[in-house]
Each structure stands twice: as structure tokens, then as C-alpha cells.
Amino acid sequence: MSNNKKILIVEDDQYIRDVYEETLKDAGFNVTIAIDGEEGLLKAKEGGYGLILLDLMMPKLDGIQLLKKLKENPPKEPNGKIIMLTNLAHDSIIKEGTDLGASAYLIKSDLNPDQLVDKVKSFI
């Protein structure tokens, strides 16, 4: 576990985004949020995050496209692991994401907030 406590959350659903932000902030992490894919990409390109939580189903630029663009243009300062967030049932999308550089995925509906924190701690 690195010391980088910077986390980027890219999630378009406000309720979920707020819960994750609050929970992780309470756990002591430095949380940045992006409300859609485009913003997420911009922020990710800045680089330097210890972990990126990436929602897959987003309008405009979805998770997979973001991963693609990020792979084409990696930021100068690298990011940590990218974890995919999804409520979609284990589709081929997840495999695609893994091929494009994501490390793992989490099913949002399966996690209580404390479980999320545990998972994040294990990834960073």
C-alpha cells in the first residue's frame, strides 16, 4: 500500500457519488470527484492519483472510452490502479476494461460503505 491517498471518483449518479465521497473522506482519503467521463478524463490526465474509481455506465464519454483515451495518452505523472465500478452484470465490458488497463471491478450494489473502504484500502 502506497502512501498516495489521492483518489479520483468518476461517477455520474449523484447519490452514489456523494456516498462514496463522504465515506472515503471520512476514512481519511483525499477525494476528487468528476461528474462525467469528460471531466474524469481531464482529471485523470493530470495524473498523480493513487486510485481511480471509474464508473462504466456514463453518458457522453463512458468508462471504456475513457480508459481507451487514457491508454492512448497516458499522463506524465502516472496514476495508481483503476478500479471499475459497475452495476452491470459481469459483461464483456469488464473484460474489455481489464484489457484497457483496469485492475479490477466492484459491483456497487454489493457493497456497504464500510466494505467499500476495506476494498479501497486493499487496492491502494
Partner 1 sequence: MELLITIFTAISNIILGCFVYFKNPKSTTNRLFFILTIIITSWTITNFISLQSSNAVTALFWIRTVMFIVSFWGLIFFLFAKTFPHEQLKIRKSFLFALTAITVITAFLSFSPYMFVNVIIVGKNIQPIPGPAIILFALDSPGLIFTGFCLLVFRYIKSKGLERVQIRFLLFGVGLAFSLLTITNFFFVAIFKISSLVIMGPVFTLFLVGFIAYAIIKHHLWDIRLVVSRTVAYALLLIIFAGSYTASLFAIGTYYMPLKYGQGQLLISAILALLMAFSFQPLRRTLEKATDRIFFRDRYDSHELLADLSKVMAQTLRLSDLTQCTLEKLLTEIRILKGAFILTHDGKIFDQKTIGFKPEPTFQEEDMKLLMTKGEVSFFETLEENDKVKEWMRKHELTVIMPLQTKEEKIGFLLLGDKASGDIYSSEDLKVLEIVSPELTIAIQNAEAYEEIRRFNITLKEEVEKATSDLQAANLKLKELDKLKDDFVSVASHELRTPMTAIRSYVWLALYKPDAPLTEKQKKYLDRTLKSTERLISLVNDMLNVSRIEAGRIEIDPKPFNILDLANEVMEEVASKAGEKTIRLVVENKQLPLLFGDINKIHQVLLNLVGNSLKFTPSNGTIYITFEMKGQFAQISIHDTGTGISKEDLEKLFNKFGRLDNSYTAIGTSGGTGLGLFISKSLVELMHGRVGAFSEGVGKGSTFAFTLPLATPEIIQQSEKYRIKPEGEIKNLEPVAI
User: Which lies closer to partner 1 via its Cβ, residue 48 or residue 113?
Assistant: 113
Contact flag: residue 59 with partner 1 (CB under 8 A): no
Residues from 74 through 113 that contact partner 1 (CB under 8 A): 86-92, 107-113
Q: Residue 35 and residue 38: Cα distance in Å, rounded?
A: 8
Give CA separation, 83 vs 2, 19, 20, 104, in Å. Answer: 16, 17, 14, 5
Q: Minimum distance from CB of 99 to partner 1 (Å)? A: 15
Indicate which single residue of 23, 32, 54, 64 sits in contact with partner 1 (rule: CB under 8 A).
23
Residues from 2 through 21 that contact partner 1 (CB under 8 A): 13, 15-16, 19
Q: Residue 76 and residue 48: Cα distance in Å, rounded?
A: 9
Indicate which single residue of 25, 26, 74, 118 sits in contact with partner 1 (rule: CB under 8 A).
26
Torsion of CA 100, 64, 104, 42, to 10 degrees: 90
How far the first Cα of the chain sits from its last, in Å, is 5
Residues that bind partner 1 (CB under 8 A): 13, 15-16, 19, 22-23, 26, 57, 86-92, 107-114
